[in-house]
Amino acid sequence: MRRRSARSLELPRRRTVSRIPAASRPSGAGGDARDRRRSNVTAVQPLQLLSPEGGASVEPPEGLDPERLLSLYRNMVRLRVFDRRALNLQRQGRINFYAPASGQEAAMIGSAAALEPQDVAYPTYRESGVCLQRGMSLRTMADQLFGNARDLVKGRQMPNHWSSREHNIVSISSCIATQIPQAAGTGMAQRFRGENAATICYFGDGATSEGDFHAGLNFAGVFRANTVFFCQNNQWAITVPVTRQTAAPSIAIKASAYGFEGIRIDGNDLLVVYKTVREALEKARSGGGPTLIEALTYRMGPHSTSDDPRRYRTEQEVETWRRRDPIERLQRYLEARGWIDAEQVERIAAEAKEEVDRAISEAEAVGPPEPETLFEDVYARPTPQLERERRELLDLIRRGVVSRVTHTPIRGS
């Protein structure tokens, strides 16, 4: 397998918009020679507002005042701390699985911050930051990792598979790209009902190789769905580089074939993520149809706790992206604008650690769901057979014939 060099992964520093209108080819220079041989259109530069150095020259977009920016920065730090702690929990055998999000905080927090309460989110198993920004508490997220009795889905889902009716977060599926047609349908329903609402659908670069990607985007284009498709192009679909996912110079360009706009952005730039997603959502709510946003970012850790990224990518490549850390980038911007100082940075980090430690400790102390919950939420009205089986199980437990239902930790390699 050919590896992509660190040089070819570097984000261009242009600050111009990279929009690909429906049924048109992109303009602009970029991409490596291999890309240009594969296609007769050139790669497009990503839209960028905040320089990698985080200078103070850029004004924040509408909707992001200093107080809001500090709130988003705080959530990015909370997410990073939670992420590292959860990864360690799995390595210690205390939870079964985890898919880390480190390196992609700006794409998650920035996009979710642009949502309105009535909007619907279809995340993947890596969008922990979307759940956090939508208002899900760290305690609720920790409960789900342990699958304890407080878990909203009663321990029936894999870790990282959050959902919340309260926050309009649809249950996450492990199957790649299956949420894309569902999100297209939700956006179509919102349009048909005349709702002032939109749907955002998250997926990775690997999902664009699935048939559901084509089916969902084609459907959304035909029916002008109120859907924003947000691709976190983190360069790797487990072990497969993005250059093996598509011969096109970008993922955003694919929107042209479906009759709507595609936009390529710097996914580590919180300002441009927020601005682009907000505009796309406003367009969707007003009947302007769907948008495909490709956010260039990088997965700093493993694909999941079942993965060892050292086997397929170089440390040089990782270091190139580490220098573009989205949290440090936003922090430098806030410091340059005089909106945060070293004391606040330390306090936010300390508060995040304390909150995460407390959430984990409380979640781990809660026992598993009671055995009878196995029979709940199966039918609106339990059948006589289900009631008999429930009574039988409880009787067997009472008489000591079978042990109580417990969780068996699966230690990662």
Tell me whether residue 252 is in a domain: yes
Whether residue 34 has pLDDT greater than 80:
no
Annotated active-site residue in 278, 303, 324, 329: 303
Looking at residue 21, its pLDDT comes to 62
pLDDT average, residue stretch 124-152: 97
CATH number of domain containing 223:
3.40.50.970
* pLDDT single digits (tens) 144-190: 999 999 999 999 999 999 999 999 999 999 999 999 999 999 999 99
Whether residue 314 sits in one domain with residue 360: yes
Bigger pLDDT: 408 or 165?
Answer: 165
DSSP for 347-363 reads: HHHHHHHHHHHHHHHHH
| pLDDT 10s digits, 302-323 | 999 999 999 999 999 999 999 9
Greater confidence, 43 or 111? 111
User: How much is the average pLDDT of 344-364?
Assistant: 98
Q: Is 10 contained in some domain? A: no
Count of domains for the chain: 2
Task: Answer whether residue 249 is part of any domain.
Answer: yes
Q: What is the pLDDT of residue 404?
A: 61
Question: What was the pLDDT predicted at 402?
Answer: 77
Q: Cα separation of 265 and 272, whole Å?
A: 7
What is the per-residue pLDDT across 78-124, written as a single tens digit (0 to 9) for each? 999 999 999 999 999 999 999 999 999 999 999 999 999 999 999 99
Structural domain for 233, as ranges: 19-364
Regarding whether 241 and 131 lie in a shared domain, the answer is yes
126 or 408: whose pLDDT is higher?
126
Residue 6 lies in a domain: no
Is 1 within the bounds of a domain? no
Residue 12 lies in a domain: no
Which helix (H) or strand (E) segment holds residue 236: the answer is: strand 236-237
Band the pLDDT of 71: cuts 50, 70, 90.
very high
d(CA 40, CA 19): 18
Q: Say whether pLDDT at 397 is over 70.
A: yes
pLDDT at res. 311: 94
Tell me, yes or no, whether 409 and 335 share the same domain: no
Length of the chain: 413
Q: Is 379 a catalytic residue?
A: no
Residues 123 and 243 in one domain: yes
- What is the rounded distance in angstroms from the CA atom of residue 55 to the CA atom of residue 223? 42
Q: What's the pLDDT at 57? A: 86
User: Is the pLDDT assigned to residue 137 strictly greater than 70?
Assistant: yes
On whether both 283 and 376 belong to a single domain, the answer is no
- Integer Cα distance of 259 and 217 in angstroms: 9
Mean pLDDT (whole number) for 381-398: 92
* Assigned domain for 98 exists: yes
376 shares a domain with 269: no
Q: What percent of the chain has pLDDT over 70?
A: 87
Q: Which of 326, 349, 364 is the last residue of a domain?
A: 364
Say what the pLDDT of residue 18 is.
64
Does residue 322 share a domain with residue 377? no
Asked if the structure places residue 293 within a domain, the reply is yes
224 closest CA partner among 261, 276, 187, 177: 187
Residues 206 and 314 in one domain: yes
Q: Which of 349, 364, 379 is the last residue of a domain?
A: 364
Verify that 338 and 385 share a domain, yes or no: no
Q: Is the predicted pLDDT of residue 142 greater than 90, yes or no? A: yes
Q: Are residues 116 and 256 in the same domain?
A: yes
Distance of CA 159 to the CA centre of its chain: 15
Instruction: Identify whether residues 92 and 235 lie together within a single domain.
Output: yes
pLDDT at 55: 82
194-217 average pLDDT score: 98
Q: Is 120 helix (H, G, I), strand (E, B) or coil?
A: strand
Of the candidates 299, 313, 324, 332, the residue annotated as catalytic is 299
**Measured distance CA(274)–CA(124) in Å, rounded:** 19
Does residue 154 sit in helix, strand or coil? coil
Q: Could you tell me the CA-to-CA distances from 211 to 38, 240, 277, 307 in Å, in that order?
A: 22, 17, 25, 25
Higher pLDDT, residue 197 or 6: 197
Residue 382 CB partners (closer than 8 Å, separation 6+):
375, 390
> Which range is least confidently modeled, 31-35, 77-81, 160-164, 190-194?
31-35
Q: Copy the structure tokens of residue 144.
A: 């789900």
Domain limit, last residue, from 333, 349, 364: 364
- Work out the average pLDDT over 264-290: 98
Across residues 256-280, what is the average pLDDT?
98
Whole-number percent of the chain with pLDDT over 90: 81
| pTM given for the model | 0.87
What's the rounded Cα separation, in Å, for the pair 13 and 245? 24
For residues 341 and 390, membership in a common domain is answered with no
Q: Name the band, by pLDDT with cuts 50, 70 and 90, for residue 261.
A: very high
The catalytically annotated residue of 312, 337, 390, 407 is: 312
pLDDT of 29 above 90: no
Residue 197 pLDDT exceeds 90: yes
